[in-house]
């Protein structure tokens, strides 16, 4: 059966239907999320959430391929996005070689990469070679060290040019991260492809959140744009506390849970 969402249906959703996207890093959660969302993003945020690293910069192709294979296995009917890790698209040749690996070694539908006008030529090269590309502009987590932190974009300067450059390069959609809502609205209106926001307000074509943020598993801090739909950390702690107590007190396993 053909997937409900593909590059064409995602593109055609602009102005008609809000797109729902969430990150997924493994088969178990991908399967749980799949029925409710339009797209699953194997984001390089997994380097922080899953691997416990301080930022996304040390994520590797191998790591991203491994997690993408798991997500595709768990949600075979879902539209899956492969996030190109830092350093994997520094030139047209490197980008194409790595993107070809994505299509050959996983069932991902497209790749996503961070950058504006400066990446347009690379994106165009990928598109010309049959790779579907989702852009990512605004706050770019892979630039955290170069920028000296995660900075919300509060000025339109350069952003419209970036969005237009990506559109002209052939992206079918783009993520717009950490951008003041009124500016995000302008960007969204200026391009013909869907703009998926994260921390970019409501006047965009869809939303993406990191799963562990929205389900309340990540407790260290909560950015303003994150809405917690569940208190995952408390639920896990309560369950673990109960399990540990029941084992210590000889309550578990009881007859119902023994052969």
Comparison of 44 and 205: residue with beta carbon closer to ligand KIV:
44
Binding status of residue 30 toward ligand KIV by CB under 6 A:
no
Comparison of 222 and 251: residue with beta carbon closer to ligand KIV:
222
Segment lying near ligand KIV (by CB under 6 A), choices 7-15, 38-46, 67-75, 233-241? 38-46
Which residue of the set 114, 177, 219, 249 is catalytic?
Answer: 177
Comparison of 108 and 175: residue with beta carbon closer to ligand KIV:
175
Tokens of 170: 């052939």
Segment lying near ligand KIV (by CB under 6 A), choices 27-35, 43-51, 93-101, 184-192? 43-51
DSSP-derived secondary structure for 145-196: HHHTS---B---TTHHHHHHHHHHHT-SEEEEESB-HHHHHHHHHH-SS-EE
Which of 5, 23, 167, 171 touches ligand KIV by CB under 6 A? 23
Chain residues 55-84 in contact with ligand KIV, contact rule CB under 6 A: 83
d(CA 44, CA 67): 10
- Beta strands in the chain, from DSSP E residues, in sequence order: 19-23, 39-42, 79-83, 110-114, 133-138, 173-177, 195-198, 206-209
Binding status of residue 45 toward ligand KIV by CB under 6 A:
yes
Q: How far is the CB of 248 from ligand KIV (least distance, A)?
A: 38
d(CA 28, CA 124): 35
Binding status of residue 175 toward ligand KIV by CB under 6 A:
yes
d(CA 41, CA 112): 9
Which of 10, 29, 43, 78 touches ligand KIV by CB under 6 A? 43
Q: Is 81 helix (H, G, I), strand (E, B) or coil?
A: strand
Binding status of residue 198 toward ligand KIV by CB under 6 A:
yes
Tokens of 128: 């010309």
Q: What angle do CA 149, 39, 156 make, to 5 degrees?
A: 40
Comparison of 83 and 162: residue with beta carbon closer to ligand KIV:
83
Is residue 186 annotated as a catalytic residue, yes or no?
no
Comparison of 38 and 83: residue with beta carbon closer to ligand KIV:
83
Binding status of residue 195 toward ligand KIV by CB under 6 A:
no
Q: 111: phi > 0 → left, psi -120 to 50 → alpha, else beta; which?
A: beta
Binding status of residue 111 toward ligand KIV by CB under 6 A:
no
Which of 38, 44, 109, 205 touches ligand KIV by CB under 6 A? 44
Q: Is 25 helix (H, G, I), strand (E, B) or coil?
A: coil
Summarize as ranges the residues that interact with ligand KIV (CB under 6 A): 23, 41, 43-45, 83, 175, 177, 198, 208, 210
């Amino acid at each position: 059966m053909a997937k409900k969402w593909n590059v064409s249906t995602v593109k055609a959703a602009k102005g008609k239907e809000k797109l729902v996207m969430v990150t997924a890093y493994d088969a178990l959660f991908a399967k749980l999320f799949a029925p409710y969302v339009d797209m699953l993003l194997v984001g390089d945020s997994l380097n922080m959430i899953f691997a416990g690293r301080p930022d996304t910069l040390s994520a590797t192709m191998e790591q991203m391929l491994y997690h993408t294979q798991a997500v595709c296995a768990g949600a075979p009917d879902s539209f899956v996005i492969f996030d190109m890790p830092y350093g994997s698209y520094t030139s047209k040749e490197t980008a194409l070689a790595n993107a070809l690996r994505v299509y050959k070694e996983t069932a991902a539908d497209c790749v996503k990469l961070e950058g504006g006008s400066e990446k347009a030529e690379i994106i165009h090269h990928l598109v010309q070679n049959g790779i579907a590309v989702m852009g990512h502009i605004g706050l770019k987590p892979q630039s955290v060290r170069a920028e000296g932190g995660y900075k919300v974009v509060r000025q339109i300067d350069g952003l419209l040019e970036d969005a237009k450059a990506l559109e002209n390069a052939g992206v079918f959609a783009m993520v717009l991260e950490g951008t003041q809502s009124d500016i995000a609205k302008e960007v969204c209106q200026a391009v013909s492809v869907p703009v998926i926001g994260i921390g970019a307000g409501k006047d965009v074509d869809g939303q993406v959140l990191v799963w562990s943020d929205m389900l309340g598993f990540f407790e260290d801090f909560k950015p303003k744009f994150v809405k917690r739909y569940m208190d995952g950390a408390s639920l896990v702690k309560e369950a673990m506390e109960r399990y540990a107590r029941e084992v210590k007190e000889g309550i578990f396993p009881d007859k119902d849970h023994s052969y």
